[in-house]
Amino acid sequence: MIRQLPDLLIDPVVRLALAEDLGRAGDVTAQACIPERVRMKAVFAARKPGVLAGISCVRLAVLAMDPKASITLLLRDGEAFAAGTVLAEVEADARAFLAAERTALNLLGRLCGIATLTRAYVEAVKGTRVRIADTRKTTPGLRALEKHAVICGGGVNHRFGLDDAILIKDNHIAVCGGVAPAVRRARAAVGHLMKIEVEVDSLKQLDQALAETPDVIMLDNFSLEDLTEAVRRRAASPFGPVTLEASGGVDLSTVKAIAETGVDVISVGALTHSAPALDIGLDVLPD
């Protein structure tokens, strides 16, 4: 079962989005066209098949505008659905509900899109032992929700931010004067619970990294042949176990071949920076 994000993390994002949409005067269209205290019933329905993520955004957006609304969530995050599936049923004050509609749909469609794309990558590498991971290439302000959507799709999270793991990239290496000094300085600066990953762009740098025994080595834009050789060198290394992560040049047409080289993790920026929003609509029900 997919762990659910606490409302405490979702609610500020939803309220900020609502405030952006309501502007200085609120929903002037609903206020002009709909009498006060009119209630409406509607459902959130999928126009295309996908994987659910962010359904709590619907609940919180509607309740923020109408605390007395009745909301029934019919699926849980992580569940797959077919086109036409009803995801949630709502009865609420019409003015309030329509003011919340776009925020709810924007967030739900965005997060379902990420979960659905992630599931496609996970299915593409089925039969291998590789894990599909996200990156920090997320929408500013939405990282917690977008990384949750990756989990809903069957992927795993890379580091959340700059503070929860060390990732030594090419620019760090250039400033430090090489792979070895960069890893040594990092290890000397942090406690035993902080993982260290170093990015390498050649087999020569891989050998240097293996000798320093970081927790993870990122193989950046390696060819399939070099990925296979990196796995072989890791197996032959006398320096201890290390996780190998492939990154760069990954899409749905290449991910299976990359997985078959024997790497442990494949990180895919496209999961969050290029996932199309899933088409979900709001259908008003007759009285």
Domain boundaries, the chain: 7-121+275-284, 124-273
pLDDT score for 249: 86
According to CATH, what is the number of the domain 7-121+275-284?
3.90.1170.20
Residue 147 pLDDT > 80: yes
Give the C-alpha separation, 281 to 87, whole Å: 10
3-state SS, one letter per residue, for 227-259: HHHHHHHHHHCCCCCCEEEEECCCCCCCHHHHH
Q: Place 2 in a pLDDT band, splitting at 50, 70 and 90.
A: confident
Residue 1 pLDDT > 80: no
Taking only Cα atoms into account, the Rg of the chain, rounded to an integer number of angstroms, comes to 23
Give the C-alpha separation, 116 to 118, whole Å: 5
pTM, full prediction: 0.96
Residue 173 CA: distances (Å) to CA of 104, 267, 269:
43, 20, 22
Among residues 146, 121, 144, which one has the least CA distance to residue 265? 121
Give the C-alpha separation, 4 to 52, whole Å: 12
Residues annotated catalytic, as ranges: 102, 137, 169, 199, 220
- Give the pLDDT mean for 26-45: 97
Q: What's the chain's average pLDDT?
A: 97
Specify the CATH superfamily of domain 124-273. Aldolase class I (3.20.20.70)
Give the C-alpha separation, 135 to 64, whole Å: 31
